[in-house]
Amino acid sequence: MTDSLFSCLIENPLQCTVVVNNVEHQVPAQLSVAGALLYLGHRQVRQHSVSGEARAPFCHMGVCFECLVTINKGQQQRACLQQVMPNMRIDTVTKELTQ
């Protein structure tokens, strides 16, 4: 994780606690999971399975499947199609690149 490239434009947003890769964070409650990951400074959520390239949320509308993460230990799913929920467990599929 690095400094975020994104900031929240909503003033005084409601906060929501999520657990990303076993670490608790506060994020604006209106965000999608993909938005929350970008807000928290994640620049990679998975690796391309063949090339190993870093991948991150891209289309934010369910088409590109670049934002697949594991939510609440279930199957991988598109982070852009889920809104954050209190105490949601989000696991990015690969380790972060070294900073």
Q: Is 42 in the site for another protein (CB under 8 A)?
A: no
User: What DSSP letter does each residue of 17-74 carry, written as one string?
Assistant: EEEETTEEEEEETT-BHHHHHHHTT-S-SEE-TTT--EE---SSSSSS-TTEEEETTS
Q: Is 53 in the site for another protein (CB under 8 A)?
A: no
Q: Is 78 in the site for another protein (CB under 8 A)?
A: yes
Residue in 41, 56, 60, 65 binding another protein, rule: CB under 8 A: 65
Q: Is 94 in the site for another protein (CB under 8 A)?
A: no
Nearest Cα neighbor of 79 from 70, 53, 88 is 70
User: Residues binding another protein: what is the number (CB under 8 A)?
Assistant: 9
Residue 54 CB, nearest approach to another protein (Å) = 14
Q: Is 72 in the site for another protein (CB under 8 A)?
A: no
Q: Kindly indicate which of the ranges 10-18, 25-33, 34-42, 76-84 contains the residues binding another protein, using the contact rule CB under 8 A.
A: 76-84
The Cα–Cα gap between 83 and 72 comes to 13
